[in-house]
Amino acid sequence: MERLQPKAAVLVFSLLWLLLPVCGDGPLRVGPLGDLPGNWAWIHSYGGIAGQDIYADSVDYTKTVNIGINSNYTEFVDDSVYCHQSFQLIEKVVWDRTALVMIIENYPFELVIERVDRDTLVLNQYCEDCFRHTYIRLHPI
């Protein structure tokens, strides 16, 4: 099976991911985390074996992620906490290049940070046939 190549554009979720038990006011510059800390709303996911496109406005739930300056990752489905864990960031060779990777405690996938800036966060699950998730910033923490 051919490996999916990452695309620099669009974290959040997939139907497969939901089945697994897992637990803008300008750029933020907080130590090595850069623009990453904040509250992020999921808008799009792409990937999986069938190459699915899932848009937030086409489903009956919302997903948000809070990434704290204290290295805590909290994920919400609707208004309920879906996962609350600590994370670390490492540089790692993925898909033949060096990338910044988020490793969340007790989480099934490492998340490759494809893009993070003032308004947009793009995370790729680091695995075969996984998903790329796109978020927009809700507001700084």
Distance CA 16, CA 32 (A): 31
Domain membership of residue 69 (yes or no) is: yes
Q: Domain for residue 2, yes or no?
A: no
The residues near 64 (Cβ < 8 Å, ≥ 6 apart) are: 39, 40, 41, 42, 75, 76, 138
Q: What would the two tokens of residue 59 be?
A: 């489903």
Question: 19: part of which helix (H) or strand (E)?
Answer: helix 15-19
- The pLDDT score that the predictor gives to residue 56 is 97
Instruction: Look at the chain and report how many structural domains it folds into.
Output: 1
CATH number for the domain harbouring residue 76:
2.40.128
Range of the domain at 48: 15-139
- Whether 8 is in a domain gets the answer no
Tell me, yes or no, whether 67 lies in a domain.
yes
| Closest-CA residue to 113 (of 140, 78, 87) | 87
Q: Is 6 inside any structural domain? A: no
Q: Is there a contact between 115 and 102 (Cβ–Cβ < 8 Å)?
A: no
Q: What is the pLDDT of residue 97?
A: 87
Question: What mean pLDDT is predicted for residues 107-112?
Answer: 90
Let me know if residue 3 belongs to a domain. no
Q: Which of 5, 35, 18, 27 is nearest to 77 (CA)?
A: 18
Mean of pLDDT values over 91-112: 90
Residue 91 has pLDDT above 80, yes or no: yes
Alpha carbon distance 10, 43 (integer Å) = 9
Question: 8 pLDDT band (50/70/90 cuts)?
Answer: very low
Is 1 contained in some domain? no
| Cα 108 → chain centroid | 13
Per-residue confidence at 63, pLDDT binned at 50, 70, 90? very high
